[in-house]
Amino acid sequence: MRVADLTTPALLVDVDALEANLSDMATALPGSRMRPHVKAHKTTALAARQAAAGHTGFTCATVREVEGMAAAGLGQDLLLANEVLDTRRLGTLVSEGARVTVAIDSEPTLRAAVDGGVAEVLVDVNVGLPRCGIAPERAGWLADRARAAGLTVRGVMGYEGHLMMLPDVAERARLTQECMARLLAAHADVGGDVVSGGGSGTWAMNTWVTELQAGSYALMDTAYTAAGLPFRQALTLLATVVSATDATGDMPAFAVADVGLKSLGMDHGNPTVVDGQVWFCSDEHTTFGPEGPIAVGDRVTVLPAHVDPTVALHERMHLVRGTGPDAEVLDVWAVDLRGW
């Protein structure tokens, strides 16, 4: 199969860029220093490549992701870095031999772990992102409660997610240190071997965690590229021009591609059309000003601003080598961790 044979919109993954990203991260943070977050790609075949590079412990965002990873034989050490109030499905995985750890930040989430049969937890600490996490000064109390309930407390986790896209790298590093000071203070009270946190935006500067929870580095997007990450843009979206209008009067020429809000994660802004200027996106369309001649039926390359929600909107990704319509499609991977 060639790229020209694909129905659009279609996710393309440059296999050479992907392998370079995985190799670079494995060199920088080998083995257990890196716990890739599968929410970024939701694809067990890609997770298997990460495991082959030495990263065999994984971070998940949903129960569904944990189940899919275990079913794919990747259940050696799975962290659900999220609070859930029903862990019975996770307990079933534990009874079948998977190692599953859940995040807790309250008595109800602690009790859910006990009731569902999950024996290992991390205390989730609020380090500055107003989302989940217990106050640092109360983390030790929750750890004591967890141990009294028979749970194994492996350590702490904290996510400085509000810092990932800060354009000033020095400021990002300074604030990351402040966040990690809160996490380390909590860890001193909690104990355990694990200090888990961080992400792609702080991968090189967060030296305080024992394991980094980065995910987007594997495929990348324009927001993280703008934040200065050195990883390659592996993921693109192939689109077809379905309408083209010549310049008339004061209106410049424009074209419409068959990608839109239902095929692109838009929370980080508009996508980028290679050799074009995006005007706006609607449900099924992206309207853009082309930089050169363009006709109905032409294929264009679209770069998503946020990889995670973009991938979750698609059923499959196509591994390709080369560029242009004659590029070979080497493999097709199901985005098999989608859904709940």
Residue after which a domain boundary falls, among 180, 213, 246: 213
Q: Which domain holds residue 167?
A: 35-213
Q: What is the mean pLDDT of residues 139-150?
A: 98
Q: Which two tokens stand for residue 136?
A: 């640092």
pLDDT at 325 over 90: no
| pLDDT, position 82 | 96
Say if residue 205 is in the same domain as residue 239. Answer: no
The pTM score is: 0.96
Say if residue 264 is in the same domain as residue 199. Answer: no
Q: How many domains does the chain have?
A: 2
- DSSP string over 140-189: HHHHHHHHHTT-EEEEEEE--GGGTT-S-HHHHHHHHHHHHHHHHHHHHH
Say if residue 263 is in the same domain as residue 323. Answer: yes
**Structural domain contains residue 18:** no
Q: Give the CATH number for residue 46.
A: 3.20.20.10
**Structural domain contains residue 94:** yes
| pLDDT, position 151 | 98
Cα-Cα-Cα-Cα torsion 130, 214, 218, 220, nearest 10 degrees, comes to 30
| CA dihedral sign of residues 223, 226, 229, 230 | positive
pLDDT at 253 over 90: yes
pLDDT at 249 over 90: no
| pLDDT band per the 50, 70, 90 thresholds, residue 312 | very high
| pLDDT, position 324 | 85
**Structural domain contains residue 19:** no
Say if residue 55 is in the same domain as residue 187. Answer: yes
| pLDDT, position 323 | 85
pLDDT in tens, 195-225: 999 999 999 999 999 999 999 999 999 999 9
Q: Give the CATH number for residue 324.
A: 2.40.37.20
**Structural domain contains residue 27:** no
